[in-house]
Chain A
Amino acid sequence: MEEKNVFFDRKFVFLSGKGGVGKTTTSSSIAMGLSKRGHKTLLISTDPSHSIGHIFEKEIGPKERQIRENLYGIEINVKEESRKYIDGILKQAKEILSPVILEEVKDQIELAYHSPGAEELALFDVISKFFAVEEKYDNFVFDTAPSGYTLRLLALPKALNNWINRLIKTRINSMKVEYYATRNPDKKLKQKLEEDPVLKILYKRKEQFELARKILLNNEKTLFMFVLNPERLPIEITRDSIKELEENKIKIEALIINKITSDSSPRSKKEAEYIKEIEKEFAPRRIFKLPLMPEEVHGISSIEKISDILFSQ
C-alpha cells in the first residue's frame, strides 16, 4: 500500500516507450486515478492525432479543458508550435532586416525548422512551459517524455549550461567594448545591457534550461516511467533506453507492462516468461501490470477501469 504513493507525490509524471505500447491509455489512467483521489491533475498529450480527445470522447485541443472533476486535459501539436516559433522569428526578421538580407537569412531560419534535433527541442519547449506554472495543478501527467537527446543535453551541465553562459558572456563583452568605442553614448551601459533584445533571449533560454534541469533531474518531484508490452523487442528497447538515460542521471523508477493477455494460448505462456524476465531484469524498479482490455479502450468508464487496476497495485 505504501508504495502506491509513487504517483501522488510526484508533481510531474513522464511516460516513455515506443509508439503503440499504450502511453496515451496509461497516462490517461494515471491522470484519472489522481483526479479521482482529489488531486487537481492536468493530462498533457503531444500526440498529433488528438488521442486523449478520442479516449475521453470530448474535444480537447490546445487549450486546457476540464474533462471531469479535478481532471483537465490539453492536446499540443508540437509541429504546430514549432511552426509558430519559426513564423514569429520570420516576422521579427521582416521588421528589422533589409529585404536583401531577409532573403539571405530566410532560408536559414526555415532550414532550422527541418534541422535534426529541431523536433526534440520543440517538444522540450512545449514541456518546459509547464514547469513555469507548476503551482496551477497538483500533478502533471505527460503522455510523452523529453527525448533521450534532450535529457542528455540537460544532464550534462557542460553541454547546455556552459554553452549559454559563454554566449551571454560574449554578448556582454561585445556590448561593453562597443559602448567604450562610442564617443557620445545616448544611454548608460547598464541600461543598454538591460534593454538588449539579444541578452533578453539568452537569459530566457538560460532560465528555461536551469528550471528544466532542476525539475527533470529531481526524482522527488519527477517520475519517469517506461511503458512496454510483454514481447521480445520492447524489452530490448527498454533495456537500452534505460541504460542510456541512467548513464545521464535520469532515473527510470517504474515500468508498466501493458496489454498482458491471460488465457491458455501459447502467446500467454510466452508472455508470462517475458514478464518474469522483466521483473528480474528491471528490479528493484516498481513494476505495474495491465491486462489487454477485451474491448478497445474508449470512453471515461474504460479508463476508470484501467485506472482502478493501476492504483490497486
Chain B
Amino acid sequence: MKNEKRSFWETVKLFFKGMVIDTSYEVIEAAANMEKDNFMIVIFSDFLGIPNPLSYYTIELIPYFGNELPGWELRMSDRKSVLAKAMGEVGEP
C-alpha cells in the first residue's frame, strides 16, 4: 500500500519534471547555442565574408571554437534553420 503510494508520487513528480524542467532545459540550450553563435560571428566573420579589422587579435580564440565551426557554418548559411530556431524559441503558432 505504502509502496504503491510512493510510486504514484514518483510518477506525478516525473510528469511535472518532464513537462516543466526538461522542456525549459531545451529552451535554455537553444539560447546557449544562440549566444555562442553570436560570439563566433566575431571570431569567424571572415568565413561569412565580413572582413574583421582586428582578426590579428581574434585568431587567438580560434582554437577554442574550431570544433564547433562546422555546425556553426551550417546554421549561419542555412537560413531556414535559423528561422526554424527562432520559431522554436517563440513557439510555433
The residues of A with any CB-CB pair to B shorter than 8 Å are: 86, 89, 92-93, 95-98, 101-102, 104-105, 108-109, 111-113, 115-118, 121-122, 163, 167, 170-171, 173-174, 177-178, 180-181, 183, 197-198, 201-202, 205
Contacts and interface: CB of A to CB of B under 8 A. Distances in A.
A201 B70 contact: no
Interface string B52-67: 0111110111111111
B4 interface: no
Interface string B24-39: 0100110110011011
Interface centre among A116, A118, A174 (most CB of B within 10 A): A174
7 contacts: A89-B59, A108-B55, A111-B46, A170-B35, A170-B42, A177-B28, A178-B35
Given A118-B56, A121-B54, A121-B56, A201 B61 contact: yes
B47 interface: yes
A92 B46 CA distance: 20
Interface centre among A101, A111, A205 (most CB of B within 10 A): A101
B69 A104 contact: yes
Interface of B: 25, 28-29, 31-32, 35-36, 38-39, 42, 44, 46-47, 53-57, 59-67, 69-70
B28 to A, nearest CB: 4
B28 A97 contact: no
Contact of A167 (B35, B42, B44, B55): B42
B56 A115 contact: yes
**Chain A contact residues: over half helix, strand or loop, or mixed?**
helix
Nearest to B41: A170
**Chain B contact residues: over half helix, strand or loop, or mixed?**
helix
B32 A96 contact: no
A118 B44 CA distance: 17
Contacts of A95: 63
Contact of B66 (A101, A121, A173, A201): A101
Contacts of A177: 28, 31-32, 35
Given A108-B47, A117-B56, A181-B25, A96 B63 contact: yes
B53 A117 contact: yes
The 3 closest A-B pairs by CB, nearest first: A174-B35, A181-B28, A178-B32
Given A93-B63, A177-B28, A181-B25, A108 B46 contact: yes
Contacts of A105: 62, 66, 69
A112 B67 contact: no
A93 B66 CA distance: 8
B34 to A, nearest CB: 8
B35 to A, nearest CB: 4
Contact of B67 (A96, A122, A202): A96
B66 A112 contact: no
